[in-house]
Amino acid sequence: MNSSTFRFAAGLPQRSHRLDANECLFVAGQRATRLFYVRKGAIRLVRTLENGANAVMHVARAHEWVAEASLFSDKYHCDAFADEPTTLVSLSKQSLIEHFESNGKSAVEFARMLASQLRALRQMHEIVRARRADDRVLTWLQLRAAGEPPALVLDRTWTQVADELALTREALYRALARLRRNGRARIDGRHVVLQR
């Protein structure tokens, strides 16, 4: 997903944007003429349901595109708000599509990025479908660990990991404690070594 740089958009005119926390980037129904890329911060995509409830559809973080799908639709179908102070760049959809259509290699690059996001999301989706916290945590660690024995160093806080796994941080800490007790993993701060 970090490979989602501008390789395929090189040379196209860009605009910069800066939003404060909770500031609105666009709302559902608005004509979608530009595609956004998050430089720093995060954008929350929210869909307002018929009964007024809100469903968060996605949170686009630094180095991710915002609603790539809108590249292919006339209107945005979500509201977009900054989760925190955020800087973005944007491209004209029209010029981007024209660029792709006349430059297949760029289009393939873009498709490659979409496919990679899809693969990553499928992974997370299957993990979150697991019912027990231990399964989610262990699978997540295993998918990230490398080497013999498999090991990794976290690049974020455990609290953030808990959120990704759709667990409370308490549940995550307890799962980690169990893994440690059962000898399935050695965990020291952000360093993890899986056993067996």
Partner DNA sequence: CGAAACGTTGACCGTTTTCAATTACAGTGG
Partner DNA sequence: CCACTGTAATTGAAAACGGTCAACGTTTCG
Contacts with a copy of itself by CB under 8 A: the residue count is 51
Q: Candidates 18-26, 86-94, 137-145, 172-180: pick the segment binding a copy of itself (CB under 8 A).
A: 137-145
Instruction: Determine the Cα angle at 142 with ends 136 and 146, to 5°.
Output: 160
- One of 32, 67, 176, 185 touching DNA (CB under 7 A): 176
Q: Candidates 48-56, 65-73, 99-107, 157-165: pick the segment binding DNA (CB under 7 A).
A: 157-165
Q: Is 170 in the site for a copy of itself (CB under 8 A)?
A: no
CB of 59 to DNA, least distance (A): 15
- Determine contact, residues 154/190, Cβ cutoff 8 Å: yes
Maximal C-alpha separation, the chain: 58
CB of 175 to a copy of itself, least distance (A): 15
Cα torsion 68, 66, 73, 95: sign: negative
Q: Which is nearer to DNA, 45 or 176 (CB)?
A: 176
Q: Is 43 in the site for a copy of itself (CB under 8 A)?
A: no
